[in-house]
């Protein structure tokens, strides 16, 4: 253990990231620096930026857009999100081609995670939904694990990032729907921290873990999206 790795190290991320990143990240840091004092906060990016500005966090992993207008905040873009519509594997829409908005409206819509106002406007334009967009959803929750249970146990349809459901897709609990138009939104995730602030050496280890996990997720999601495209094309 290097000097300075006694901590504390405080960081945060959203629930869609925490579902697959937080556990392995904590385990790796505990193994490499057993005396490090770790504090992890699971919140949406709009709340995490407030914690960072108030210096209650050393960094967070989330939507870098929330830091655009704050000069004292530095960001490292790590992952550009891809989006889709998801449902249970036995859902009536599973396997159907070119699903339209009218088809989606036959089922409860559920939403999770954080989208800023510009992304909500883009979403509403794609599917001709009046603002406020969230009024069209039966369920809205920030807890992605709860949302995944809802998908598996109901006929709800959920828009979201591939990243939020990649492990559920791997386990064949969730399937992607062939919705048209596709859900194309512009959101980049990254490491967000205060500019010029000296962090414990363990922060560099944490950043390496984040980069490595996103690199692996990028490969797996590219494979899953390729598989989905082939399945739609050939039935």
DSSP letter (8 states) at residue 18: I
pLDDT class for 1, splitting at 50, 70, 90?
very low
3-class DSSP state of 199: coil
Same domain, 143 and 131: yes
Residue 25's pLDDT is 96
In a domain, 41, yes or no: yes
3-class DSSP state of 198: coil
Same domain, 157 and 218: no
What tokens does 195 get? 């500019």
In a domain, 1, yes or no: no
How many distinct structural domains can be found in the chain? Answer: 2
Query: Which domain covers residue 226, as residue numbers?
Result: 9-80+187-234
Nearest to 165, CA basis, from 50, 91, 77, 85: 85
Same domain, 172 and 103: yes
Please classify residue 165 by burial: count the beta carbons closer than 10 Å to its beta carbon, then call 0-12 exposed, 13-18 middle and 19+ buried: buried
Q: Look up the pTM and report it.
A: 0.88
Q: Are 229 and 90 in contact (CB under 8 A)?
A: no
Same domain, 100 and 61: no
Q: Is the peptide bond before 132 cis (omega within 30 degrees of 0)?
A: yes
Q: Are 85 and 177 in contact (CB under 8 A)?
A: yes
Same domain, 170 and 217: no
Same domain, 66 and 133: no
In a domain, 3, yes or no: no
Same domain, 145 and 210: no
Domain end marker among 135, 151, 177: 177
In a domain, 107, yes or no: yes
Taking the C-alpha atoms of residue 76 and residue 64, their distance in angstroms, rounded to an integer, is 8
In a domain, 74, yes or no: yes
**Helix 162-170 crosses helix 202-234 at what angle (to 10 degrees)?**
70
pLDDT class for 234, splitting at 50, 70, 90?
very low
Q: Are 159 and 111 in contact (CB under 8 A)?
A: yes
Query: Which of 3-12, 151-160, 171-180, 182-191 has the lowest average pLDDT?
Result: 3-12
pLDDT class for 84, splitting at 50, 70, 90?
very high
> Rounded to 5 degrees, what are φ and ψ at 74?
-110, 145
Same domain, 193 and 154: no
| Residue pointed to by tokens 């979201």 | 160
Nearest to 181, CA basis, from 39, 70, 84: 84
- Residue-wise pLDDT for 145-172, tens only, equals 888 889 989 999 999 999 988 888 888 8
Same domain, 168 and 198: no
3-class DSSP state of 88: strand
Taking the C-alpha atoms of residue 125 and residue 222, their distance in angstroms, rounded to an integer, is 26
Same domain, 97 and 18: no
| pLDDT > 50? residue 4 | no
* CATH for 70: 3.40.190.10
Same domain, 94 and 169: yes
Residue 5's pLDDT is 59
What is the residue-averaged pLDDT of the chain?
Answer: 90
Which distant-in-sequence residues (6+ apart) come within 8 Å of 191 by Cβ?
Answer: 59, 60, 61, 75, 76, 78, 207, 210
Same domain, 17 and 55: yes
- Residue-wise pLDDT for 30-46, tens only, equals 999 888 999 999 999 99
Containing H/E element for 74? strand 73-80
| pLDDT > 80? residue 2 | no
């Amino acid at each position: 253990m290097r000097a300075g790795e006694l901590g504390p190290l405080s960081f945060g991320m959203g629930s869609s990231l925490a579902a697959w990143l937080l556990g392995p990240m904590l385990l790796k840091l505990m193994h490499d620096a057993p005396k490090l004092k770790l504090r992890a906060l699971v919140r949406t990016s709009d709340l995490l930026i407030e914690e960072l500005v108030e210096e209650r966090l050393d960094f967070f992993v989330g939507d870098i857009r929330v830091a655009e207008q704050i000069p004292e905040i530095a960001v490292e873009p790590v992952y550009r999100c891809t989006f889709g519509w998801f449902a249970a594997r036995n859902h009536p829409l599973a396997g159907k081609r070119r699903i339209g908005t009218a088809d989606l409206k036959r089922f409860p819509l559920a939403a999770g995670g954080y989208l800023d106002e510009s992304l909500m406007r883009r979403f509403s334009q794609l599917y001709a939904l009046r603002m406020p967009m969230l009024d069209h959803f039966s369920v809205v929750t920030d807890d992605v694990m709860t949302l995944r249970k809802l998908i598996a146990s109901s006929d709800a349809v959920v828009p979201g990032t591939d990243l939020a459901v990649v492990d559920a897709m791997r386990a064949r609990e969730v399937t992607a729907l062939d919705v048209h138009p596709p859900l194309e939104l512009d959101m980049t995730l990254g490491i967000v921290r205060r500019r010029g602030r000296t962090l414990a050496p363990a922060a560099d280890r944490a950043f390496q873990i984040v980069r490595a996990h996103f690199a692996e997720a990028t490969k797996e999601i590219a494979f899953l999206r390729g598989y989905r495209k082939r399945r739609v094309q050939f039935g």
